[in-house]
């Protein structure tokens, strides 16, 4: 209806331009200028709408990009159906009509390629097709195994294209099927679990989220809390924390509901009851005056420490006075501190032993 009224108005403008009755040359020029401006503005809006919803999604952002496969072959991305692999010395095309390729992150010798809506695998060393493009979806090889999809059925193959085991999994759109170490995450009806390299359930699919991290360990979420599973499929940190991070060499750091942190080893034993991200010196304006008449800033008796963007008070011996539950902390005096309440504009005063002061 809006478009009908809008273009109906434009049509009236056009009719007024060519209606000579009671129109001076001056007003005919004015009406013509207004009409041209409206038409130009409408065209720009129409083009922007088309480009946003139709044009951009059909353009390949990586068009005309060259990727080396090795010293002898390269992949030239000219867009879906027009890309190819060529020999570097002669520029001769050895594989044509490709849509794209995707190489493995662990340096596997096979890469996934897409051609005419299907997926296959080619050698990055010889630029030859090893497994023809016959799958509806495929994921890169990782740790010697790759997932492929026929219809809505996902299964794993080896470098010869043979199934590794007989079990198949129902495909969940948007989910990545890739082994990391001994396991991959399977998604069933919105829940997650681990499958071992024989196709058996290593854990029941009961977790709300699950993803791989350092040392092929898995962070999982159960009942809204986070925990960790090691590379052997054993739960080493029960789900009971707000957050968890696993480092290649630094162990496991867990975050409690009050934003404080502690560090564990890879078996789940506590090694440090209190760790934090950073510390800041707090200064206050004293009553002492310098030579220029300005109040002198002095350090307070406590420092501020941070955990995950929240702040608490810590003494100079390294003992926490308050948990990190404040948005910001400023010093009023050597022993009084103004703390901003989390997610609020209000503030309160804390003394040097962590007590609230009215």
pTM of the entire predicted model: 0.71
Question: Given the structure tokens 């007024």, which residue do they identify?
Answer: 16
- Higher pLDDT residue, 209 or 23? 209
Q: Compute the Cα dihedral for 127, 131, 135, 137 and give only its sign.
A: negative
- 23-27, 117-121, 264-268, 329-333: lowest mean pLDDT where? 23-27
**pLDDT at site 61:** 43
What percent of the chain lies above the pLDDT cut of 90?
72
Q: Per-residue confidence at 343, pLDDT binned at 50, 70, 90?
A: confident
69-116 pLDDT, tens digit per residue, is: 888 999 999 889 999 999 999 999 999 999 999 999 888 999 999 999
254-282 pLDDT, tens digit per residue, is: 999 999 999 999 999 999 999 999 999 99
**pLDDT at site 272:** 95
327 Cβ partners below 8 Å, 6+ apart? 310, 311, 340, 341, 342, 343, 344
Q: Per-residue confidence at 60, pLDDT binned at 50, 70, 90?
A: very low
**pLDDT at site 106:** 86
Could you count the other beta carbons within 10 Å of the beta carbon of residue 266?
17
How far is CA 317 from each of CA 70, 78, 302, 303, 320, rounded to the nearest angstrom? 57, 63, 10, 10, 9
Distance (Å, whole) CA 222 – CA 209: 7
Distance (Å, whole) CA 14 – CA 20: 12
How far is CA 294 from each of CA 159, 288, 291, 297, 299, rounded to the nearest angstrom? 76, 8, 7, 9, 16
Vertex 69, ends 86 and 107: CA angle to 5°? 155
């Amino acid at each position: 209806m809006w478009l009908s009224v809008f273009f109906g108005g434009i049509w009236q403008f056009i009719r007024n331009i060519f209606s000579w009755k009671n129109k001076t040359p001056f007003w005919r020029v004015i009406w013509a200028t207004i009409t041209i401006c409206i038409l130009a503005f409408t065209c720009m809006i129409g083009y922007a709408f088309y480009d946003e919803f139709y044009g951009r999604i059909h353009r390949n952002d990586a068009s005309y990009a060259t990727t080396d496969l090795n010293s002898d072959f390269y992949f030239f991305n000219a867009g879906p159906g027009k890309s190819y692999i060529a020999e570097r010395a002669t520029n001769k095309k050895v594989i044509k009509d490709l849509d794209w390729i995707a190489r493995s992150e662990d340096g596997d010798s096979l890469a996934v390629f897409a051609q005419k809506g299907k997926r296959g695998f080619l050698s990055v060393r010889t630029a030859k097709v090893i497994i023809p493009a016959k799958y509806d979806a495929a994921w890169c090889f990782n740790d010697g195994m790759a997932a492929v999809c026929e219809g809505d059925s996902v299964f794993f193959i080896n470098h010869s294209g043979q199934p590794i085991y007989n079990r198949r999994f129902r495909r969940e759109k948007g989910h990545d099927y890739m082994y990391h170490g001994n396991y991959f995450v399977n998604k069933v009806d919105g829940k997650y679990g681990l499958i071992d390299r024989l196709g058996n359930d290593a854990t029941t699919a009961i977790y709300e989220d699950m993803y791989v991290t350092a040392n092929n360990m898995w962070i999982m979420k159960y009942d809204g809390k986070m925990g960790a599973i090691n590379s052997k499929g054993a739960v080493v940190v029960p789900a009971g924390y707000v957050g968890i991070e696993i480092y290649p060499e630094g162990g496991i750091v867990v975050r409690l509901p009050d934003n404080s942190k502690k560090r564990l080893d890879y078996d789940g034993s506590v090694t440090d009851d209190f760790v934090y991200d950073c510390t800041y010196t707090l200064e206050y304006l004293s009553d002492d005056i310098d030579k220029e008449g300005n109040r002198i800033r002095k350090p307070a008796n406590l420092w501020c420490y941070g955990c995950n963007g929240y702040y608490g008070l810590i003494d100079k011996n390294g003992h926490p006075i308050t948990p990190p539950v404040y948005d910001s902390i400023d010093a009023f005096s050597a022993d009084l501190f103004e703390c901003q309440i989390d997610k609020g504009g209000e503030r309160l005063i804390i003394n040097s032993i962590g007590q609230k002061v009215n």
